[in-house]
Structure 1
Amino acid sequence: MFRVFLADDEPFIIEGLYDIIDWAEVGLEIVGHASNGQKALDALRETSVDILVTDISMPIMNGLDLIRHARTVHPELKVIVLSGFDEFTYLKEGMQLGIENYLLKPINIQELKASLLNTVEKLNTMNETQLVQAYSKQILKDNTLHRWLTQQIAPLEFYERAELLGINLAYPYMVAAVLRMPVHADKGLECITSRLNTYEWVTVFLDMDGDILLLASMDQIDEGKKELMALLQLLHTEFQDQSVRISVGTVGHLPDGVTQSYETAKKAQEYFWIYPELSLIDYQELAMHQEDPKVDFSIIDWPSYAKLIITKDLENLRACIHNDFKRIQALPGITPHDFQNIAFEMVIHFKLEIKAIRHTEELEAYHLAFDQIRKAVALEELEAAILKIAETTIGFLVSDVRSPIVQQVLRYVQQSYAEELSLKMLGAHYHIHPVYLGQLFQKEINETFTEYMNRFRVEKAKELLKTTHEKVHQIAKEVGYSELGYFYKQFKKYVGISPTDYRGLL
């Protein structure tokens, strides 16, 4: 609802204006009135107003002078003039001042109402335009800052845009902080931006993941970091009912250090899965806490892990994980807590890799992995949890390139591998020619359906040999082999030894 102020030295005119129009009906409310131009101007300096309805002839300050001065206070103010003088000079000067209409007294109610409706329409259009412009500017700002933080923009282009968008680069250091809350990102951004409007050293924007980013400029590291942490604590207190989680990156020296600050702030967000009781995590403190000669995370070749994930090489990824666990286990003085931290770090890396590739994340799978690591009471359980999430991570990528029919067949096999399965049966089930299904399967899985079935069943048999005391012939039937001799042959083909010998090694 837009706000209206009335100015007229005739009391009955003011009273009449209150009564002759249903202001709410036309989307307006009267927020005040004055009997002369000076009083009106004083009130306008203290009050937010959209429309001024004013007389021309008033004591102390006339209506035309009021309009001139009022425009310095409210540049977008709309004005409707009421006058008892039908003089061209007044009309001409009013038009030069950009008034909406010049109405003669006595007031024609229909003409006044039409002028008000027309003015309201203009205000609505103006607001929509301003919103679109503000939204477009915010999108440009978000995009520019994201490209800067991810090193996808030339320095000259960034600095030109930064000045235009009001991004503060006056100080040599900058720290990134990530605010994540369950409310809609745009709404959260609006609240935070409004709250930090007076903090010139803070830039607020939305990144491509929907996280709210604070970039804090600082002249001195210690004092600047202290001031930032105090501000973040204040924000946490004010927005705690929205379950905001805040992570802080390392201090970066401009221009290049801000990228690492952003990356570490994002990474610190992942630790809320590990420490759900916290609401603010400083990556620097996290790193200091993890600095231990027994636990050097550089022992893990993370770039190799990333490459194996991108290429969907599950076999070598499994081998890499197993070998790293063996190497870490051999470190002198290693503790179960150290191992748990490394396992957490692995899951976080997998989660960040899949998010970087797909720009989406499967939260439940990684949440489950963190849970399994927390509950693990043996090294084997930790390794099993990591191997499972590694397989799940690769599975997310593989499913992106497989046809829907092959994905359905794989799901069917995983659920019904103990049954007698064939391409003919599956082709009939999914209404597709078995020869074409076999060709499609081999093209996407890189092995024939029969090879895949045998390898899958042998893996299931290995699990049962490890975890149960069932007889070999019982296990063979449970995984889908009706002939024991054929089961032995396939097991030896894929494992290298017989099922009995395999169990003997466990």
Structure 2
Amino acid sequence: MERLKVILIDDETLIRKLLRMKIDWEALGMEVVTEFSSSKKALEEVQEWNPDIIITDICMPGIDGIEFSETCINLMPKVKIIILTGHDEFNYAMRSIKIGVSDYILKPIKAEVITQTLWKTREKIEKEKNYQVEYEKLAAQIEENLPLFQEGYLNQVLLEPVTSEVFSRKMKFYQVDIHPNAQEIQVALVEMNQVNKENIGNEEDQNEMILHMKARKLIEEFFSGDAYILFCRDGFGRIVIMSNNPDLPLNECLELLRKMLITRLKCYISIGVSCKKEDYSQISTAYKEAVEALNYKMVEGENCIIYYGDLATSTSYLSVEQEKIWKEIKIYVSAGRKEEAEKSVQRLWEHFIRDKYKSTQQTPHLLIEIISWCFNEAIKNDLPIQKQFSKKLCQVYEDPIEMVAFRDEILKYIGMLTTEIAAKDEKKNSSLVQGILNYMLQNLSSPELSMNQVADQFYISAGYLGRLLKKNTGKTYGEYLSEIRFQKAKDLLITTELKAYEIGEAIGICDPHYLSIWFKKMSGDSLSEFRRKGKVQKMKVY
């Protein structure tokens, strides 16, 4: 047990002697290191002694116990102070608690009371020290694992948009340097593939891991002289480079980097590059652009750099009508409307089949664009099927595809994505509807329970709320609200003796006249008739 240092302060010598003699300091694991007859003198030397506990009288000449305690706590925040006070000074002593005094003891002094107080104070000190030790351990672990936390957060930002303010604050916490003035951001995605994959199973996985580790080290070394460059690995093991340096010619750097990696690692290197974005809130958009650009390596081949900006005209071969249909497909898929999406896919295929030669030439391009878009939507919605789209992208050029098979492939993957999005939306909407219904029940007494007010509570439009309720309850908002108010009114009439106006207040209808008309319309009976019939029915049951 660690020995704690105690200082005694009292202008009466007898009190100090009694404290020394009556208390078994050794049993408490404490030692009285010094004592003072003056609080002024104590203040001059207290920091030199660095005590754990100070016992001081409240009334002393010059500086009283409370003033002394306040000054002492400011000098040594961890010290525990126990004040000795008489009954007539009790209210005065209570003020000491507000300034942080640990405890107080009433005179006349009793050894057992002081001993109990000192034990309690010791427990406080040990608890705080243990907490401090645990805190320091956790702080050390955080410091040690900071790179992992940085990596995890950057991965999160790739998939979920955040505000520039939040990103800046998080980067400061993770000790990552970002540009002090510019928020411009550009994302590059580096993918490595072994030239020869003769090994199988665990050995191949191990070789790929080693390749990624070597590539990550070389990339970080390559940019080591450049400020404001961030790195992480995405969910597919690809290396993400985020440039926050507006003065760095990233495109030129990537070309040199690609050549260096190919030479040093003897592997295939493909890089997808986003357009430059104005601020950190667009990092996830930039990442999606880099992913889409990288997907086009199937067209460009291995060992290439693809810039998203160069893909802007990739669908220029589509006619105005075909482009319109493709946009319809995207809308239907995003809305989870599988039947309409599949019909639009069929229409697009019919347009392409009219020109067999042209469609045969453009089939791989369109298939890549559609699968790539599905892949990005799966990432955005955090769907597990994203890996299936990624795998399919790698097979587009490996297996030639006929036109009928082309249509079936599009229908398959569009249908798969639409089904997953619809299921996710259904689950989300089910939870939202339940929350809305619970809110309406809990706030039934509010006369302001309008559809607009409820919609505002859930940050949705009134129109959307109305459609959700209609779909899930079969009733409009007004119909559902009337129904639950009616059920509540009936229950209160039968089970309580509340007056009509009290029932009206409980269900949010405060106008007694309107309440009577409304209830008569809903039940066919007046309030009093319904209550009387309810009581009669209740008596028959018993």
Larger radius of gyration: 2
What is the TM-score when the length of structure 1 is the normalising length?
0.43
What is the TM-score when the length of structure 2 is the normalising length?
0.41
